[in-house]
């Protein structure tokens, strides 16, 4: 299905570019994964590309050349012998959904015509984590010396652009850089999956959230059709996050920005567009310019750890009246700011009072460790200090299987945590605290291997 543009039987200029670019991407992918098939396909596309270079304007490509490309894409060589028949049926059926959203047949065929399910996406979507990385190991990797050094270099290199972005969106430049560093190591690795293929695989095979993946795929096709990116540049993660700062297509639609005014929101190859898009995302979720994300604090002896419940918020002045002090006995610059107490590794590790900007960062990635790393990396790029308190390296976190075991044991002992689902929510934390009080332990609600061992031993 290759669509003509109308008068004179010429083929649509943008569709031709998409088709030719996608053809090249298919060949490179095939060569990587399908051996000799990819080698034969590469010879074919090189011959076609050589012919195309003879034209000064892609719009002059006539029907015979495009039909030749279409035949190669849709004919016997379009997929290796082990092509998934169910996936081919799904593509034919999904065309109705894409078409209803304004995707043309030319765009659809060019983007999806030659792809097969992405094996990495299938493997990773079904993967269950065997262990959980401790927060201190995560931070050591995320806020490494090299990443801080690169961040400071990027701060200088993009000083002009970051200044304009900061003024336009009211988001501190260091946090924008930190997200860039966290997501792709400042563009060093943006993912190696063709986003259309990854999202099509998820829409076809994911056991959950089918409608979500379908909508993300439709949006990605619309992005291609509008010319914001070429198919070979539309690479990202196995789950469809893309560009320098790893936007999902729906996030791109709502929050992407055009820094340089060229009409394209190019988060894939334009660093300024990507950084402006990230700043806009944070702005739209309530970023407070000139304010920090949180403070490392010291807790007094005998502190009531039930206040670190994920719900209790107080002003910094009120927390100070409870005996909490900022590390180094520094003052809180805005005592009326409201904050929540977070203990990422329980009572034995560092403690933090988290402000609104911390939770804005979590809108980007809803993990405490991620938001803590972004905030800390931003501070270190700015010249701030390392965290002061030591991490309790013997208090390893639980895997999901171990968490289910802990929940089962707590329920058996009368500390109701609800269903043993392997997820640590408010009910599980309440049950842990109740057990800890009964056992004479510090009731911090932290689920660790040490706690599980304590329950198993009956102590």
Over residues 334-377, the pLDDT tens digits come to 999 999 999 999 999 999 999 999 999 999 999 999 999 999 99
Closest CA to 200 of 125, 118, 123: 118
Q: Are the C-beta atoms of 195 and 235 separated by less than 8 Å?
A: yes
Q: Look up the pTM and report it.
A: 0.81
Contacts of 314 (CB under 8 A, 6+ apart): 322, 338, 339
Per-residue pLDDT in tens (0 to 9) along the chain, 459 residues? 333 333 333 334 444 444 444 454 444 444 334 433 343 444 444 444 444 444 334 433 333 343 334 333 433 333 443 558 999 999 999 999 999 999 999 999 999 988 999 999 999 988 765 568 999 999 999 999 999 999 999 999 999 999 999 999 999 999 999 999 999 999 999 999 999 999 999 999 998 899 999 999 999 999 999 999 998 899 999 999 999 999 999 999 999 999 999 999 999 999 999 999 999 999 999 999 999 999 999 999 999 999 999 899 999 999 999 999 999 999 999 999 999 999 999 999 999 999 999 999 999 999 999 999 999 999 999 999 999 999 999 999 999 999 999 999 999 999 999 999 999 989 999 999 999 999 999 999 999 999 999 999 875
What does the DSSP 8-state code read for residue 448? B
Q: Is the C-alpha dihedral spanning 116, 223, 187, 213 positive or negative? A: negative
Q: What local confidence, expressed as pLDDT, does residue 304 receive?
A: 94
Over residues 53-96, the pLDDT tens digits come to 443 344 333 333 433 343 334 333 334 435 589 999 999 999 99
Burial of 420 by CB count in 10 Å (0-12 exposed, 13-18 middle, 19+ buried)? middle
Tell me, rounded to whole angstroms, the distance of Cα 215 from its chain centroid.
Answer: 17
Q: What local confidence, expressed as pLDDT, does residue 34 receive?
A: 42
Give the helix ranges, DSSP H, for 383-458. Answer: 400-412, 426-438, 449-457
CA–CA distance, 288 with 113 (Å, rounded to integer): 46
At 89, phi and psi to the nearest 5?
-65, -45
Buried b (16+ CB within 10 A) or exposed e, 362-376: bebbeebbbbbbbbb
């Amino acid at each position: 299905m290759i669509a003509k543009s109308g008068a004179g039987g010429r083929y649509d200029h943008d569709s031709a570019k998409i088709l030719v670019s996608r053809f090249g991407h298919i060949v490179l992918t095939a060569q990587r994964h399908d051996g000799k098939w990819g080698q034969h396909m590469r010879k074919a596309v090189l011959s076609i590309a050589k012919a195309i270079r003879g034209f000064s304007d892609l719009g002059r490509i006539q029907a015979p050349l495009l039909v030749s490309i279409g035949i190669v894409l849709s004919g016997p060589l379009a997929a290796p012998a082990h092509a998934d028949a169910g996936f081919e049926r799904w593509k034919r059926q999904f065309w109705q959904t894409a078409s209803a959203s304004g995707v043309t047949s030319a765009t659809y065929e060019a983007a999806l015509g030659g792809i097969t399910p992405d094996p990495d996406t299938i493997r990773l979507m079904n993967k269950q984590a065997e262990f959980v990385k401790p927060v201190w190991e995560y931070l050591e990797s995320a806020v490494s010396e090299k990443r801080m050094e690169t961040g400071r270099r990027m701060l200088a290199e993009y000083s002009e652009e970051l200044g304009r972005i900061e003024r336009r969106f009211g988001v501190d430049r260091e946090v924008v850089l930190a997200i860039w560093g966290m997501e792709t190591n400042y563009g060093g690795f943006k993912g190696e999956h063709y986003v259309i293929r990854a999202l099509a695989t998820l829409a076809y095979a994911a056991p959950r959230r089918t409608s979500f993946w379908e909508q993300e795929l439709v949006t990605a096709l619309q992005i291609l059709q509008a010319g914001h990116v070429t198919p070979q540049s539309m690479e990202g993660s196995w789950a469809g996050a893309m560009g320098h700062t790893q936007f999902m297509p729906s996030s791109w639609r709502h929050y992407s920005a055009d820094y340089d005014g060229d009409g394209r929101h190019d988060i894939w190859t334009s660093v300024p567009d990507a950084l402006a898009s990230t700043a806009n995302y944070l702005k739209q979720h309530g970023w407070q310019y000139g304010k920090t994300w949180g403070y490392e604090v010291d807790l007094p002896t005998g502190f009531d750890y039930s206040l670190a419940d994920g719900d209790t918020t107080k002003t910094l002045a009120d927390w100070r009246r409870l005996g909490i002090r900022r590390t180094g006995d520094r003052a809180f610059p805005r005592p009326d700011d409201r904050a929540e107490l977070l203990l990422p590794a329980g009572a034995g590790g560092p403690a933090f009072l988290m402000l609104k900007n911390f939770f804005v960062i979590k809108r980007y990635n809803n993990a405490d460790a991620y938001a803590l790393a972004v905030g800390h990396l931003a501070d270190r790029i700015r010249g701030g200090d390392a965290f002061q308190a030591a991490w309790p390296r013997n208090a390893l976190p639980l895997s999901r299987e171990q968490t289910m075991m802990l929940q089962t044991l707590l329920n058996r002992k009368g500390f109701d945590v609800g269903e043993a689902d392997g997820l640590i929510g408010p009910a599980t934390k309440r049950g842990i605290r109740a057990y800890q009080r009964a056992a004479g332990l510090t009731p911090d609600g932290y689920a660790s291997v040490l706690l599980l061992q304590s329950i198993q031993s009956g102590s």
